Chain A
Amino acid sequence: MENSKDRLILKILPYLGILAVLVIWELIVDLGIVPNTLLASPIQVVKLFFIKLNTADPDGAVLAVHIATSLKEALLGYSLALIIGIPLGLAMGWFVIVEGLARPIFEMIRPIPPVAWIPLAIFWFGIGLTGKAFIIWASGVVPCVINSFVGVRMTNPTFIRMARTYGASDWEIFKQICIPSALPMVFGGLQVALAASWTALVAAELIAADTGLGFLITMGRRLLMPDMIVLGMLMVGLTGVVIGVIVDKVEKRLVAGVRR
């Protein structure tokens, strides 16, 4: 009896925490402790959320369009990062020639923060989809390469030795042993890459865009609408969580049995 009561309290606690923050936040704004021009109250944000569902004004697009723009950019850049980064990293981990060729270039580019690419990306691709996709690609490709590389390098040498005694070729060992054993690391990289790309995307949209969640935040600042800024921030966070969960689900399905 006591136990189930404890468990109930534990279940309620997180909601209580959130509720407390919302109430305090609401009160701070309502009581004028922080002026409304600087911070919007939760109720104002929710109201704006419902308005923005079907109203394009004052920033030029409904919420769904902003989300769609950001998602499209993220998806394009992120997929390109995976398609190029993972095979490159895997190959760098196993084939000496690939590592020798690619590693110095990679190590040169790696320390440049993705955000630093934004000005060049605007020069090259303008403020549309391509430019954003490029920024996201630049920030996502690095963790993809590193984790795939390390994943292959961490392959248990006994596995490789054993495969050799079976008479397997280098290519077969790479395919049958190194890649599957690197998978958990690769998927870890996907999550890191996702976080990095999403951050870079919002940064890019803050600087140059005409739709997108980052743009929504910027418009909130320009129009002196703190509720719009907060709404944009919340939507960025929420969308990010949803994508993260999807990647996690895919990972669980693909690497069944790999985790001990």
Chain B
Amino acid sequence: MESRLEQQPVNYKISCTGLSKSFGNNNNKVDVLATMDLHVKENEFLVILGPGQSGKSTLFRIMAGMETPSTGTVTIDGKKVTGPGPEIGFVFQRYTLFPWKTVLGNVEMGPKLRGLAKNERREVAQHYIDLVGLKGFENHYPHQLSGGMKQRVSIARAYANNPKIMLLDEPFGQLDAQTRILMEQETIRIWEAEKRTVCFVTNNIEEAVYLGDRIVTLDGKLPGKLSHVYEVDLPRPRDFTDLEFLKLRQKITDESQLVL
């Protein structure tokens, strides 16, 4: 085991080793994540699947550098993560657009704060607004957009920073079923147009099978621990009603231990 680990090439984009997390002090300790290892390859679409209360958001925040693990380390390109940085782009479940900025203003916020010249950041922002399919909505304010459109802006905004890694935390959790499916298709289209290493957190098995190159599942009780890993080698675009799709979906459902 030891020797195999050492032989592995270090070209993982993200490496989590010996990671665990507990909150509180000695008397009142809650273990949220059991010790785990997780490696993500470059340009891989990894889905972290788990029900509520499985510690997946904590795992997400640790990978994002927003939370320090109790043990273990997270490295990106071999470098230890110490805080949130420009190499990571975020999309959250709750809409986090700046309400006082237009679509264009939101998307060019990152480049602006990075100090890009005006025409340069305009160009970058416009490119990603076009990519997510919001051409013509540049001057709309967030409150004038639907939920799906808001998440498109969030994706464009994250991309505009040119991150190496995209972290998405249940981005479509608040959307209705139809918009959700549309956004899943769009996510794949955007990702195939401009590949990034993606970690996508969800509690929806169908969504996981549709999106992921690989799915890791977390057990549905604390402390969360990685229970299964599924390689998904279905061709894209995937079909929700394809037999192989349904088989995998059923397999994951059977093997996941949902604790209500």
Name A's B-contacting residues (CB within 8 A): 156, 158-159, 161-168, 172, 176-177, 180-181, 183, 255-260
B128-159 contact mask (Cβ, 8 Å, vs A): 1 or 0: 00000000000001110000000000000000
Q: List 10 A-B contacts (CB under 8 A).
A: A156-B96, A162-B96, A166-B161, A167-B86, A176-B113, A177-B98, A181-B100, A257-B102, A257-B143, A260-B143
Which residue of chain A is the closest to B102 with respect to CB atoms? Answer: A257
Asked whether, in the complex, the Cβ of A166 is within 8 Å of the Cβ of B98, the reply is no
Q: Is B110 an interface residue (CB 8 A)?
A: yes
Interface contact A166-B143, CB-CB below 8 Å: no
Bound CA–CA A183/B101 (angstroms):
13
Picked from B92, B109, B112, B114, the residue with its CB within 8 Å of the CB of A158 is B92
CA distance A259 to B100 in the complex (A): 8
* Interface residues, chain B, with chain A CB atoms under 8 Å away: 66, 83-86, 88, 90, 92, 94, 96, 98-102, 109-110, 112-114, 141-143, 161
Which applies to chain A's interface (DSSP): helix, strand, loop or mixed?
helix
What's the minimum C-beta distance from B181 to chain A, rounded to whole angstroms?
27
* Contact in complex: B100, A257 (CB < 8 Å): yes
Question: In the complex, what residues of B have CB within 8 A of residue A177's CB?
Answer: 98
Whether B90 and A165, one on each chain, are in contact in the complex, defined by CB atoms closer than 8 angstroms, is yes
Which one of B66, B92, B98, B143 has the greatest number of beta carbons of chain A within 10 Å?
B98
Q: Is the interface of B mostly helix, strand, loop or mixed?
A: loop
In the complex, A159→B99 CA distance in Å? 10
User: Are B100 and A161 interface neighbours, CB within 8 A?
Assistant: no
Contacts of A163 in B (CB 8 A): 109, 113
Q: With a CB–CB cut-off of 8 A, which chain B residues contact A165?
A: 84-86, 88, 90, 161
Chain A residues near B94: list those with CB within 8 A: 158
Known A-B contacts A165-B85, A167-B86, A260-B99; the reply to A176 vs B109 at CB < 8 A is: yes
Given contacts A172-B113, A176-B113, A257-B143, contact A164 B84 (CB under 8 A): yes
8 Å CB contact of B114 from A166, A183, A260 = A166
Q: Is the CB of B100 within 8 A of A183?
A: yes
Shortest A157–chain B CB gap in Å is 10
Docked Cα-Cα span, A258 to B142, in Å, equals 9
Residue numbers in A under 8 Å from B112 (CB-CB) = 176
Query: Which residues of chain A are near B101, meaning CB under 8 Å?
Result: 180, 257
A82 to chain B, nearest CB (A): 20
* Complex CA distance for A197 and B146, rounded to whole angstroms: 42
CA distance A167 to B114 in the complex (A): 6
Nearest CB of chain A from residue B169's CB, rounded to whole Å? 11
Cα A159 to Cα B110 in complex, Å, equals 11
A259 to B83, CA, bound (A): 32
State A146–B100 Cα separation when bound (angstroms).
Answer: 22
**Within the complex, which residue of A159, A161, A255 is in contact with B98, where a contact is CB–CB below 8 Å?**
A159
> Which of B85, B100, B113 lies in contact with A255, CB distance below 8 A?
B100
A180 close to B98 (CB less than 8 A) = yes
B113 near A158 with CB under 8 A, answer no
Closest to A169 in B: B113
Least Cβ–Cβ distance between A240 and chain B, in angstroms: 29
Name the distance in Å between A182's Cβ and chain B's nearest Cβ: 10
**Cα of A255 to Cα of B141 in the assembled complex, Å:** 12
Please provide the 6 A-B residue pairs with the shortest distance between their CB atoms, ordered closest to farther: A257-B141, A168-B113, A165-B84, A166-B113, A180-B100, A166-B110
In the complex, A165→B161 CA distance in Å? 10
**Chain B, residue nearest A158 (CB):** B96
* Complex contact B66–A161 (CB within 8 A): yes
CB distance from B210 to the nearest CB of A (A): 27
Q: Which of A162, A167, A181, A260 has the most CB of B within 10 A?
A: A162
* A258 near B85: Cβ-Cβ < 8 Å: no
Query: Residue of B at shortest CB range from A255?
Result: B100
Q: Are B86 and A159 in contact, with the CB atoms below 8 A?
A: no
- The CA of A158 and the CA of B141, in the complex, are separated in Å by 19
Specify which of A162, A181, A259 is in contact with B90 (CB 8 Å cutoff): A162
